[in-house]
Amino acid sequence: MIKIKCMVVDKTRSPFLKDGESFYLERLRRYAQVKWIEVKPVKIKKGRSDRSILDAEAQAIERRLEQSDFTVALDRTGEAYTSEGLASWLNRMAVHEPGWATFIIGSPLGLSKDLIGSAKKVLSLSKLTLTHEMSRLLLLEQLYRAMTILKGEKYHK
């Protein structure tokens, strides 16, 4: 069975995106083992630099990772897939990798450069800048779509 872990910073605040997240998480769980992990956000004190916040967030994320996790950092500058391409990648992962496919989405500031650099893969959902909460919804929808592609179901067209 395909094992998918999503690691996000903070809980989702937008009500409609939260609803959408639950909608696709529930569907995705019919096809795959899914872990959804919300890492606590770093408190933003006055005068703290973006860099220092990103570093603290990266540490919080790394503390929650397991050694065998196959980490996929989401960043606009990463590799762009078609939905079919993402599906076959997930399938190869499940066959060849022992660990979880672990998708990491940052805070409103994104992810630290070091974290992006050390991830096993960097994935881009779009060239457009998306809010981190919109990225969650889009990722979940694509993971669900990938599963329906692999099962040959008609959701995907």
One-letter identity of residue 106: G
d(C-alpha 119, C-alpha 96), whole Å:
18
Which of 4, 28, 86, 119 contacts a copy of itself by CB under 8 A?
86
In angstroms, give the least distance from the CB of 142 to a copy of itself: 6
**Least separation in angstroms between CB 125 and a copy of itself:** 6
Retrieve residue 62's tokens: 């790394």
Residue 44 as a binder of a copy of itself (CB under 8 A): the answer is no
CA distance 28 to 117: 28
Q: Does 83 bind a copy of itself (CB under 8 A)?
A: yes
CA 19 vs CA 13, 24, 26, 134: distances in Å: 10, 9, 11, 12
Footprint of a copy of itself on this chain (CB under 8 A)? Answer: 14-17, 19-20, 23, 76, 80-83, 86, 108-109, 125-131, 134, 137-138, 141-142, 145, 156-157
